[in-house]
């Protein structure tokens, strides 16, 4: 027990610098050249190697007239020392990469309408390129579902359209605002008319297809409010569970819909799109929600990338 304790105690005295010293001498084959490489004086380095050999309990180097050569024990020691240094350097690099948000995992949510927004796709693409080892999990849901997922910790952040009021414990930052456009069957008279801006008030007798208020309350309320400002309450013939579903109903000729402009990227067969007159004031804001507590690692990198891409989008 005493011998075991003594050996263990001696091993605890070996530090990383001792390993680096031994490796440098093995590489240079000369005490003076190794000292110069390490930025040390030769006498202190020689004393450190003697102390290391005393701790190991056997000579590691043969002192020769013109240099230093490893003993058999020294060969074994330096081989393991190199691996230890590599492991330590790797551990430091792994910790630094994690702190920079380049590794780990991140769960991101988005509403159906936000899924087609160019900001969302550009952020995901940028992170794939800058942090390929960062695992991204993407989930879709309504604004209320995503906020519930954030509150439970199952999501780290989410792109949402319009929260229904303050969201305690979370930062909710508007990152973009896009216009909304009219979606109609390509057989509709307005689709065949000369291209031009649509006045919302001219649609007072049309049947609308909107997404369910429970799924997209923010956008739903904005559309209703815009119609009322234009002097009418919309005739809602159908309510679809999601924005994409509303386009299918539009293509079937069941009515018109009002959607964020980015949705037009879908190019749904049977659907035509037209821009509204700016006085209609139909806009769809996009928000990023994330925990208000101090953020670090992958989440910090993600939020920074969103803000950078959002700024770039504003300049286009």
Chain segment 151-175, per-residue pLDDT in tens: 888 999 999 987 766 777 888 899 9
Residues 233 and 145 in one domain: no
What is the spatial distance between Cα 120 and Cα 114, in angstroms, rounded to a whole number? Answer: 7
Query: Under a CB-based contact definition with an 8 Å cutoff, are residues 16 and 85 in contact?
Result: yes
Is the confidence at residue 234, as pLDDT, over 90?
yes
List of residues 6+ apart from 19 with CB closer than 8 A: 81, 84, 85
Is the confidence at residue 211, as pLDDT, over 90?
no
Residue 91 CA: distances (Å) to CA of 84, 94, 96, 270, 298 = 10, 5, 9, 57, 18
What is the spatial distance between Cα 278 and Cα 50, in angstroms, rounded to a whole number? Answer: 83
pLDDT for 37: 92
Residues 64 and 150 in one domain: no
DSSP 8-class letter at 116: G
Residues 111 and 75 in one domain: no
Is the confidence at residue 1, as pLDDT, over 70?
no
What is the spatial distance between Cα 26 and Cα 36, in angstroms, rounded to a whole number? Answer: 14
Total domain count, the chain: 3
270-282: burial string, b at 16+ Cβ within 10 Å, e else = ebbbbbbeeebeb
Q: How confident is the model at residue 4 (pLDDT cuts 50, 70, 90)?
A: very low
Strand segments, DSSP code E, in the chain are 61-64, 67-70, 104-110, 134-140, 157-160, 170-185, 207-211, 235-240, 257-260, 271-275, 283-291
Mean pLDDT for the stretch of residues 248-275: 90
Residues 15 and 62 in one domain: yes
pLDDT for 316: 54
In the structure encoding, which two tokens stand for residue 307, read together? 């803000």
CATH assignment at residue 220: 3.40.190.290
**Percent of the chain at pLDDT exceeding 90:** 44
Among 63, 84, 99, residue at a domain's last position: 99
139: which strand partners? 109
Q: Which residue has the higher pLDDT, 178 or 242?
A: 178
Range of the domain at 267: 179-283
Q: Which residue has the higher pLDDT, 99 or 117?
A: 117
Residues 168 and 294 in one domain: yes
Query: Under a CB-based contact definition with an 8 Å cutoff, are residues 28 and 37 in contact?
Result: yes
- In tens, the pLDDT along 64-73 reads 888 899 999 9
- In tens, the pLDDT along 59-93 reads 999 988 888 999 999 999 999 999 999 988 888 88
Among 99, 132, 161, residue at a domain's last position: 99
Among 36, 70, 99, residue at a domain's last position: 99
Residues 166 and 311 in one domain: yes
Write down the mean pLDDT value for the chain. Answer: 86
pLDDT for 216: 74
Burial of 3 (0-12, 13-18, 19+ CB in 10 A): exposed
Residues 187 and 252 in one domain: yes
pLDDT for 224: 92
Strands 283-291 and 170-185: antiparallel
In the structure encoding, which two tokens stand for residue 91, read together? 């551990």
What is the number of other CB atoms lying within 10 angstroms of the CB of residue 307?
14
CATH assignment at residue 306: 3.40.190.10
């Amino acid at each position: 027990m005493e011998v075991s304790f003594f050996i263990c105690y001696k091993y605890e005295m070996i530090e990383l610098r001792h390993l680096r010293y031994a490796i440098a001498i093995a590489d240079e084959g000369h005490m003076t050249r190794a000292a110069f490489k390490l930025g040390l004086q030769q006498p202190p380095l020689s004393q450190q190697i003697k102390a290391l050999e005393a701790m190991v309990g056997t000579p590691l180097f043969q002192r020769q007239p013109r240099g230093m050569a490893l003993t058999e024990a020294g060969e074994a020691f330096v081989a393991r020392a190199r691996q230890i240094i590599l492991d330590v350097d790797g551990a430091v690099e792994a910790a630094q990469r994690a702190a920079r948000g380049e590794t780990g995992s991140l769960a991101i949510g988005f509403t159906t309408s936000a899924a087609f927004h160019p900001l969302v796709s550009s952020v995901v693409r940028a992170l794939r390129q800058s942090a390929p080892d960062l695992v991204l999990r993407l989930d879709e849901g309504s604004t209320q579902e995503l906020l519930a997922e954030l509150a439970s910790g199952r999501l780290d952040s989410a792109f949402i359209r319009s929260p229904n009021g303050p969201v305690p414990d979370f930062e909710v930052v508007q990152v973009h605002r896009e216009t909304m456009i009219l979606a109609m069957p390509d057989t509709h008279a307005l689709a065949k008319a000369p291209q031009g801006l649509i006045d919302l008030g001219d649609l007072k007798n049309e049947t609308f297809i909107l997404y369910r208020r429970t799924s997209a309350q923010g956008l739903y309320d904005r559309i209703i409010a815009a119609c009322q400002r234009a002097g009418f309450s919309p005739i809602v013939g159908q309510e679809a569970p999601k924005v994409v579903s509303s386009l299918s109903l539009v293509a079937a000729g069941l009515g018109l819909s009002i959607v964020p402009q980015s949705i037009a990227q879908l190019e749904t067969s049977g659907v035509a799109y037209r821009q509204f007159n700016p006085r209609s004031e139909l806009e769809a804001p996009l928000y990023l929600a994330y925990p208000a507590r101090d953020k670090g690692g992958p989440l910090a990198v993600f939020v920074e990338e969103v803000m950078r891409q959002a700024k770039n989008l504003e300049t286009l």
